[in-house]
Amino acid sequence: MEQKEDSVLWKSNRSVIRLVPWLAVASLVIWVRTAFAAPLVEIVVYSSGTSLPATGIAACSEPDCLGYTIPQSQWTWAVLYPKTYVAWSVANGNPKKRVYLLVDGKTVASARSGNLLLLSTGGFSTGPHVVQGMGYGMDGSAGLSTATTICFNTPAPCY
């Protein structure tokens, strides 16, 4: 009787032993897909110029606004200072790469991890402009934040 129990136990152990390599391969595939997924970029354009801590938000690229609790109805949608800070976040990004700020599709600023982006509006016409953040993943793929239209040097709404 005891020999039978040992053989049943041995068979179940063999099944587990056969399963382990497949679990390792599945884990590796999931890790690779996560490690090399396109980066998720998010930006917050402050409406309070370069004073810190920021006291207002012009706009966010995502509704969660990097955790800020200021509701979207209180965003100004305008940058009225010549220089304004822009906070950013890059998930699945390469920490050794810079993050870029784009206005109307052109790079206007960049920063490394731990630094805010600086948006200078002096060289732009008064009115609406499209602002985006761009970061790079571990595999070199670029990720863009959601495009956000805000007013430069004039209160919103601007046309």
| CA 106 to each of CA 22, 37, 100, 103, 131: distance values in angstroms, whole numbers, following the listed order | 46, 24, 10, 5, 9
Beta bridge partners of 55: none
Architecture of domain 40-152: Sandwich (2.60)
Output the tens digit of pLDDT for each of the chain's 159 residues.
555 555 554 555 555 566 656 655 655 555 555 555 789 999 999 999 999 999 999 999 999 999 998 889 999 999 999 999 999 999 999 999 999 999 999 999 999 988 999 999 999 999 999 999 999 999 999 999 999 999 999 998 987
| CA 43 to each of CA 32, 46, 65: distance values in angstroms, whole numbers, following the listed order | 26, 10, 8
Output the pTM of the full model: 0.75
